[in-house]
Amino acid sequence: MPNHDIPTRDKPEETVLDIDFVRGQFPGLAHGWTFFDNAGGSQILKRAVERINTFLYDKNVQIGGSYAVSQAAAAALYEARTSAMHLVNASRPEEIVFGSSTTALLQNLARAMTSQLTVGDEIVVTIADHESNIGPWDRLRDAGIIIKFWPLNRDTFALDLADLEPLMSDRTKLVCITHVSNILGSINPVREIADFVHERGARICVDAVAYAPHRAVDVQGLDVDYYVFSLYKTYGPHYALMYGKYVHLLELDTLYHYFYGKDKVPGKLEPGNPNYELAYSTCGIVDYLCELGEKSGETGSIRDKIVAAYGAIATQENALVDRLLGYLRGRNDCRIIGQSSNRDGNRIPTISFVFDGRDSAEICKAMDAHRIAIRFGDFHSRRLAQYLDLTENNGMVRVSMVHYNTVEEIDRMTIALDNILGSTGRTETTAA
């Protein structure tokens, strides 16, 4: 199945990332640690923090008042929605819903769909998802909703439409998928899946937590109905946003006070109001991406600059993926979970693996002494880990990189891994 979500690689116009500029935007990188746990949470941009501070110092009042500072706070919140609109290529700012986390937003979405579902309706989830995009739907069994699991092909680590076809019926209301698994790291063909789902009269909800830090999001191009990801994994604070098609948001039940009617979008889905200052940080993320796009030579619109920035990000990250996969393939005691190469550009830099007979927790703890942060476990994708029989020895080791990481950091980590594991597992390194 072709994947139109994947940027084309190896074009002559690929831009080399200005890594010194990039690393200078993240103050947390200056403390001597190498952060390879970015899928758990990236470092935050200085600009995002500055936006938070600006709101708290200059506009820290409730919106809705007639006085000037309240009007400025409302304008800042609208600016945040507008920035998020550009970030995901939504059609209007009102299609952006802010929330405390992806988990909370998806739980809220499930609650807000209550009146649309009746006993016997069906929702399809995938075994490959993070629990955030399974648990909220699975709990609807108590209301008589039928939950079906779309299995993963254990040989290819792919979601095959041939396996989804028999799960769909005229009672299927929603299909919930991940854009990228936080274990497998491969980009799923969301547009093809969305077309397939829509042709059968259902809607699609996408968890994009593991995708959004790495590639430009285009919700209109993907034709998704709901699309959710976390800002704290996309260079911002611990916060999240959800895109929803405006016509669908209008249909959702209100989660706020009874006098917030169905037409009060997106406010009815943000009970207690969004966190203004954290939402405002989105502007700092977009400002950074725009400057990165300008450094790549783009002089067009905000959206054009964001796309150019992610083009440069993808080039940098593909080099990181190739370097680490080459090392892992060169050890005869290592099993890479997911695709073992990145020739088609289909892998984001989240790479999970296990070493024969070795405890993943002990490897990660030994790496701490080298001031290199990696992680072990199932990463809250427990059903997938169980499905792939990867729960023994404290699960998997995961190295999750972003564009501010460098090849030199990878080389330092692989030297440390050789010291921890011993070099007896090394074979001749396979070329990327």
The amino acid that residue 363 corresponds to is I
Q: pLDDT of 89-144, one tens digit each? A: 999 999 999 999 999 999 999 999 999 999 999 999 999 999 999 999 999 999 99
210 Cβ contact partners less than 8 Å away, ≥ 6 residues apart: 39, 130, 178, 179, 180, 181, 182, 185, 233, 348, 350
101 plus 224 within the same structural domain: yes
268 plus 329 within the same structural domain: no
Domain count, the chain: 2
The amino acid that residue 380 corresponds to is H
Quote the CA–CA distance of 337 and 114 in Å, as a whole number. Answer: 37
Last residue of a domain, one of 266, 286, 306: 286
Quote the CA–CA distance of 328 and 330 in Å, as a whole number. Answer: 5
The chain-wide mean pLDDT, for the chain, equals 94
Which domain covers residue 347, as residue numbers?
Answer: 19-46+314-422
User: DSSP per residue over 243-301, as a string?
Assistant: EE-HHHHHHSPP-S-TTS-TTSTTGGGSTT---HHHHHHHHHHHHHHHHHHHHTT--S-
Quote the CA–CA distance of 240 and 285 in Å, as a whole number. Answer: 13
Nearest to residue 240, comparing CAs of 370, 109, 380, 65?
A: 109
360 plus 371 within the same structural domain: yes
The band of 427, judged by pLDDT with boundaries at 50, 70 and 90, is low
List phi, psi (to 5°) of 368.
-55, -35
Answer yes or no: is pLDDT of 4 > 80. no
275 plus 204 within the same structural domain: yes
Nearest to residue 187, comparing CAs of 398, 379, 5, 2?
A: 5
Domain at 156, CATH number: 3.40.640.10
Arithmetic mean of pLDDT, 5-15: 52
Half-sphere exposure of 170 (CA within 13 A, CB side): 0
The pLDDT value given to residue 16: 81
Residue 54 lies in a domain: yes
Domain at 350, CATH number: 3.90.1150.10
Quote the CA–CA distance of 246 and 256 in Å, as a whole number. Answer: 18
Residue 432 lies in a domain: no
End-to-end CA distance of the chain: 23
Answer yes or no: is pLDDT of 420 > 50. yes
Residue 300 lies in a domain: no
42 plus 63 within the same structural domain: no
Q: Whole-model pTM?
A: 0.94
Residue 308 lies in a domain: no
Q: pLDDT of 382-400, one tens digit each? A: 999 999 999 999 999 999 9
Answer yes or no: is pLDDT of 429 > 70. no
Answer yes or no: is pLDDT of 14 > 70. no
63 plus 206 within the same structural domain: yes
Cβ atoms of residues 337 and 353 within 8 Å: yes
189 plus 277 within the same structural domain: yes
Helices (H) then strands (E): counts for the chain: 14, 13
Q: pLDDT of 290-304, one tens digit each? A: 999 999 999 999 999
The pLDDT value given to residue 123: 98
Residue 380 lies in a domain: yes
Q: Which helix (H) or strand (E) holds 355?
A: strand 350-355
Tell me what percent of the residues of the chain surpass a pLDDT of 70. 94
The band of 425, judged by pLDDT with boundaries at 50, 70 and 90, is low
Residue 364 lies in a domain: yes
259 plus 408 within the same structural domain: no
263 plus 325 within the same structural domain: no
The amino acid that residue 199 corresponds to is E
Residue 330 lies in a domain: yes
93 plus 138 within the same structural domain: yes
Residue 134 lies in a domain: yes
264 plus 322 within the same structural domain: no
Q: What DSSP character marks residue 427?
A: -
Quote the CA–CA distance of 212 and 235 in Å, as a whole number. Answer: 10
- Tell me how many degrees the CA angle 328-332-334 measures, rounded to the nearest 5: 50
194 plus 67 within the same structural domain: yes
